[in-house]
Amino acid sequence: CTRLWVAQKAKTKVQFGRFVRFALVGAAGFLVDVAALYSAFAIGLGLYSGRAASYLSAATFTWAVNRRFTFAAKTPPTIIEWLRYVFANTSGGLVNYLTYVALVTWGSGLLSHPALAVACGSIAGLVVNYIASARLVFGESDEKDAQPN
């Protein structure tokens, strides 16, 4: 019983550390996202098309950093892995984008501050994206989670 408890505690610690790293990468991705959004505005894209472009920019950045920093991927990066990452994070991305759309469309005052709507969308999609990335892209399993780094 004690052995099981120790194994569960180690698994929880590893998972929590990985989630914190994922969230930190997401925070950096937020900065990329906002910079790309305002760059898209500068070249004439609107609130919605600009957001789609900025999301892809941020997704590419977070894939590259998460594969190394969060999940310590040992294999070289491939376009197939990037596509799996973007596809796996579609649910979180949809939650992210719909939150943004709802806030800039109906949120009082957020139309003039789209960065706040991006932040809300990013937080809303975080957990969904973490689970999808860990399980579907980087192949994390319960057995791996139980082994401390």
Residue 65 has pLDDT above 90, yes or no: yes
One-letter amino acid of 101: V
Residue 53 has pLDDT above 90, yes or no: yes
Q: Which residues of 25-60 are buried (b: 16+ CB within 10 A; e: fewer)?
A: bbeebbebbbebbeebeeeebebeebbeebbebbbb
Enumerate the H helices of 43-89 as residue ranges: 47-65, 79-88
pTM over 0.85: no
* pLDDT value at residue 10: 67
Segment 92-125, tens digit of pLDDT = 889 988 998 898 888 777 667 888 888 888 888 8
